[in-house]
Amino acid sequence: MVKFEGSDGKSCEFRADSVKMSEVLSELGLLKGSGVKKVLAGKLDGELLDLERALSRGGRIEAVSAESEEGLDIMRHSCAHLMAQAIEKLWPGAKFGIGPCIKDGFYYDIDVPVTLTDQDLPAIEEEMRKLAGAALKVERVEMAKDEALKFFGERGDTYKVELISELDVPGVSLYRQGDYVDLCRGPHVPDTSCLRNFKLLSIAGAYWRGDEKNVMLTRIYGTAFAAPDALKEHLRRIEEAKLRDHRKLGRELDLFSLHDEGQGFPFFHPKGMAIINTLLDFWRKEHMKRGYEEIRTPLILDRSLWLQSGHWDHYKENMYFTEIDEKPFAVKPMNCPGGMLVYRTQIRSYRDLPLRMAELGIVHRHERSGALHGLMRVRCFTQDDAHLYCTPEQVRKEVVGIMDLCDYIYREVFGFSYHIELSTRPENSMGTAEQWAVAEDALKGALESTGVKYRINEGDGAFYGPKIDFHLEDCIGRTWQCGTIQLDFQMPERFELAYVGADGKEHRPIMLHRTVLGSIERFLGILIENYAGAFPFWIAPVQVKLIPIQTQGNASPENPEKTESHEAYVRDLAATFKSWGLRVEIDNRDEKLGRRIRDAQLQKVPYMIVIGDREVETKVVAVRERSRGDLGSMSLEEFRSILNAEFNPLKETTPPKVAAD
């Protein structure tokens, strides 16, 4: 007999191998849910298992409902199988690669004998709904490896044969629903009727196993939810995200452009540079306040440096190379090795630590062409890096200081909420298990000292050390990984960095790698989408637009001096606003006033100043604000008071008084 226990302390006993997960859940009173609470699977001591899986051992039992995170993953992966079954019915001969669940959805890579487009998605969905309505039972089949190779080989399913061949296991599991069979470890929903609230979203190309040397497959994306309202809300967010697409808004707002002549290398226009330079001014101000010193290191460095740092062995496939004086060089993918050469230029004392060196370094990384995406995934970007060298006793305080800086910038300046993840040792790591344990404990101690909540992200650390990652949530609920804090014992050892301690002996410093914005280019893309291009006043590329009512194009021959007086006043206003540090544009096109106001509104300019006869004669300004509309006429002093009330982390603590005009 084997014993099972539920979370409420209730227990039951069955004979080993004679009981299914569903029977144990039922006996423990855990199989009663319906709708979003419907139980799709169970967990035995944390292991996810199908409801019909026979249990050979006892342990702690939990129910997995459709609305849970694990339940949604099961549902979405089962939807990928349902989609594959529908495609196989519609296009016999289709072959299937992999079909995992991903964040908020799923996809399947398919080798199909026709060219599929988005117009084919409704037909696939219709077939999926027929199969779901048939309530086909989903059955797990255990099969020996050789038998599975023969099974899929006879079907001509070369992709499954390749996957199975690489597995170092005696047997594999298959899942069958109706006449469709797929290689999968599971678990899956009990039957296809559990799959109701799904939607196919898009079609793209994807190389088999992500290798550009392999065949291009058709990748179909979809999503699924436990409840129809949740699906509806998700689709609404997708439509909202399309309206906020930074590539679309980047063109419309004249911020940047992308060209085939430089795939993955964005071109920034004057307005885009205005935002970037404002961000960098703010970045420098905050770092200077917090005791950082700025450095700059070369873009291209000798191969020997990258061998010493470990990048040659662990990151070579992401790097670009060149030759100088018949010697091999690499374009830097990271700033840290150059920073360590700066550290070594002097003998450092314990009195010098912590030493905080910041660098706005341009780095190049080779990304596959299919992975490139606007500003979010590029091949060249500016990393707001910093490397902190400290004693073991200083690590916790320095990590907390970085967290404080991140919190100020994310939450107070830009209004983002965020969550934190601690990423642990990856498979390709450098160093010993003991070193990693010490490093991970140091970061855990810093996190726990602040009381902040965090998640563990197993195996996702950098190859040289564990890291704390900051994931920002934007206004429509999407998350973006930006800042990171990485603790590194390895590179100080490799570069033989040292400081002289109070005992007069040399000691090895501990190094913290850190970014806050991450990539400046990517952070700009995030800001564009978060604000839908309507940037806060302090970073708006054009803060004030001057719109004269009378222009040269519609002036009357009888009274040309009126136009000249308007233009003179507009020029004076522009000069005054620029002296205040504002970014100003004049729109004196030969267009109707309403058209020019509308264009300024579409350009999402925070303030519009309309100038007519009255404004020229009384030396006032008629102000429109992009969200509040017409604010009326006012003096320059009154307008400056409004501007001074705008949030601006770059301004003085006490705004300067308005100078007499």
The strand pair at 327-331 and 320-324 is best described as antiparallel
Here the tokens at position 174 are 């298959």
Cα angle 18, 24, 27 (rounded to 5 degrees) comes to: 120
Rounded distance between C-alpha atoms, residue 120 and residue 350, angstroms: 67
Q: Specify whether 285 is catalytic.
A: no
Catalytic site residue from 184, 194, 336, 482: 336
Distance CA 492, CA 435 (A): 13
Residues 338-372: b if buried by 16+ CB within 10 A, e if exposed: bbbebbeeeebebeebbbbbbbbbebbbebeeeee
Taking the CA atoms of residue 578, residue 580, residue 586 and residue 592 in that order, the dihedral angle to the nearest 10 degrees is: -170
Provide the CA 629 distance to its chain's centre, in angstroms. 34
Task: Using alpha carbons only, give the angle 492, 498, 500 rounded to the nearest 5 degrees.
Answer: 155
The one catalytic residue in 73, 120, 384, 385 is: 385
Most distant CA pair in the chain: distance in Å?
A: 107
- Alpha-carbon distance of 399 to 486, in angstroms, equals 9
Any catalytic annotation for residue 365?
yes
Query: Among 76, 160, 246, 365, which one carries the catalytic annotation?
Result: 365
CA distance 162 to 228: 38
Q: What's the token pair of residue 608?
A: 């519009």
CB 4 within 8 A of CB 12: yes
Decide: 525 and 375 in contact? Cβ < 8 Å.
Answer: yes
Task: Please give the Cα distance from 553 to 379 (Å, whole number).
Answer: 46
Check if 336 is active-site: yes
The verdict on whether 486 is a catalytic residue reads: no
Helices (H), 32-120: 69-90
**Residue 71: half-sphere exposure toward Cβ, Cα within 13 Å:** 23
CB 515 within 8 A of CB 410: no
Of 85, 177, 383, 394, catalytic: 383
Residue of 47, 67, 189 whose CA lies nearest to 131: 189
Single out the catalytic residue among 379, 513, 604, 626: 513
Distance in angstroms (rounded) separating the CA atoms of residues 615 and 619: 5
Query: Using the 8-state DSSP alphabet, how is residue 578 labeled?
Result: H
- On whether the CB atoms of residues 285 and 650 are closer than 8 A, the answer is yes
Per the residue annotation, which of 53, 287, 387, 396 is the catalytic one? 387
What stretches of 395-442 adopt beta strand conformation (E)? 417-423
What is d(CA 183, CA 143) in angstroms, rounded to the nearest whole number? 10
Active-site residue, from 467, 514, 583, 640:
467
Question: Active site includes 513?
Answer: yes
Bridge-partner residues for 55, per DSSP? none
What does the DSSP assignment read for 140-152? EEEEEHHHHHHHH
Place of tokens 């003179």: 568
Residue 68: C-alpha distances to residues 169, 221, 579, 585, 655 (Å): 31, 21, 57, 52, 51
Look up residue 354 and give its two tokens. Answer: 């912590």
Report the distance separating Cα 234 and Cα 375, nearest Å: 24
The verdict on whether 596 is a catalytic residue reads: no
Integer angstrom CA distances of residue 570 from 151, 557, 584, 586, 611: 80, 21, 11, 8, 8
Query: Radius of gyration (Cα) for the chain, nearest Å?
Result: 31
Positions marked catalytic: 336, 365, 383, 385, 387, 467, 513
